């Protein structure tokens, strides 16, 4: 949460100030064209950075080599876990790893992603393409200082008072998603008659009607939906007799086996909808906005 802004508004300017060539790329919408889109984008970046006309048919390795001749390179690669979803990206991932290994003295990389499970498949499994490539660092959640900062700026700009306690409470209800908190405050700044409570309800209503989340939900089995609902409420013990009996009742079955729960969880992990919590403490919904949607759907 907030990772893209952190990369583009904090890391990139600081790195440029320290004479790094900084290249940002998101794999969010590349689909099966990861190699072509990445190569095209980094070639365009190199042309601008080197102030030179490059042959656009140069390979990814040749472009990176040219950048390295000019100095240090920082690659900011966002939503990288998407590469793990499509087996056709295997050769591209292997090539990228090789290029980075060959240029590790000049090229540094920050990988980010919105799916813990997807990142685990990329970096933490023994057969993962980037296994032991670097350190895995959790991105910390924003604390009370963030919402207090928003409230302070709101007061300063609008000359109206925003209740800091209520804003913090709503921020927690919205799973600490920075974008939602900012959107909430912006709506109130533009509409003086809008209360904090009403602005929150409007925003949550908008999330609930998000077509993307509706489609994700529709593509899940009933058991997968039951699991998502339990996980969104931070329920542990998904394999317990109590939870399985509750699921069986809702499914109209006499009982449901542990293996059925395990199978459904693996499907949700492959879909990048849930990920394991540290120290095997259970599971969590990967996308906090989807978690908000599920909670709205249950309300």
pLDDT of residue 256: 93
State the average pLDDT for the chain: 89
Rounded to an integer, the average pLDDT of 114-122 is: 81
3-123 belongs to which CATH class? alpha beta
Q: Is the pLDDT of residue 194 over 80?
A: yes
Q: Is the pLDDT of residue 283 over 70?
A: yes
Of the candidate ranges 100-114, 236-250, 255-269, 271-285, the one whose mean pLDDT is the lowest: 271-285
pLDDT of residue 81: 86
What would the pLDDT profile of 16-28 be if each residue is shown by its tens digit? 999 999 999 999 8
Answering whether pTM is above 0.85, one says no
CATH topology of domain 211-298: Arc Repressor Mutant, subunit A (1.10.10)
What would the pLDDT profile of 163-189 be if each residue is shown by its tens digit? 999 999 999 998 898 989 999 999 999
> pLDDT over 90 for what percent of the chain?
59
3-state secondary structure the chain: CCHHHHHHHHHHHHHHHCCCEEEEEECCCCCCCHHHHHHHHHHHHHHHHHCCCCCCCCCHHHHHHHHHHHCCEEEEEECHHHHHHCHHHHHHHHHHHHHHHHCCCCEEEEECCCCHHHHHHHHCCCCCCCCCCCCCCCCCCCCHHHHHHHHHHHHHHHCCCCCHHHHHHHHHHCCCCHHHHHHHHHHHHHCCCCCHHHHHHHHHHHHHCCHHHHHHHHCCCHHHHHHHHHHHCCCCCCCCHHHHHHHHHHHCCCCCCHHHHHHHHHHHHHCCCEEECHHHCCEEECCHHHHHHHHHHHC
């Amino acid at each position: 949460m907030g990772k893209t802004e952190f990369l583009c508004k904090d890391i990139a300017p600081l790195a440029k100030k320290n004479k790094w060539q900084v290249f940002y790329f998101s794999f969010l919408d590349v689909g099966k064209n990861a190699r072509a889109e990445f190569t095209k984008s980094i070639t365009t970046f190199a042309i601008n950075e080197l102030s030179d006309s490059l042959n656009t048919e140069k390979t990814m390795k040749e472009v990176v080599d040219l950048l390295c001749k000019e100095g240090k390179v920082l690659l900011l690669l966002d939503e990288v876990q998407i590469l793990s979803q499509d087996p056709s990206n295997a050769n591209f991932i292997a090539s990228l790893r090789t290029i980075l290994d060959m240029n590790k003295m000049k090229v540094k990389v920050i990988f980010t992603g919105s799916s813990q499970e997807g990142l685990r498949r990329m970096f933490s499994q023994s057969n993962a393409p980037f296994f032991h490539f670097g350190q895995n660092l959790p991105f910390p959640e924003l604390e009370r200082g963030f919402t207090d900062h928003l409230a302070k700026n709101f007061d300063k700009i609008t000359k109206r008072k925003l209740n800091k306690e209520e804003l913090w409470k709503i921020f927690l209800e919205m799973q600490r998603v920075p974008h939602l908190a900012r959107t909430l405050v912006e709506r109130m700044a533009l509409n003086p008659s809008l209360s904090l409570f009403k602005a929150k309800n409007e925003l949550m209503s908008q999330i609930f009607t998000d077509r993307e989340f509706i489609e994700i939900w529709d593509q899940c089995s009933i058991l997968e939906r039951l699991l998502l609902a339990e996980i969104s409420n931070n329920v542990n013990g998904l394999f317990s007799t109590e939870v399985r009996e509750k699921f069986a009742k809702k499914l109209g079955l006499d009982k449901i086996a542990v293996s059925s729960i395990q199978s459904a969880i693996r499907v949700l992990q492959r879909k990048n909808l849930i990920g394991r919590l540290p120290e095997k403490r259970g599971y969590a919904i990967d996308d906090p906005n989807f978690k908000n949607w599920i909670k709205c759907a249950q309300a």
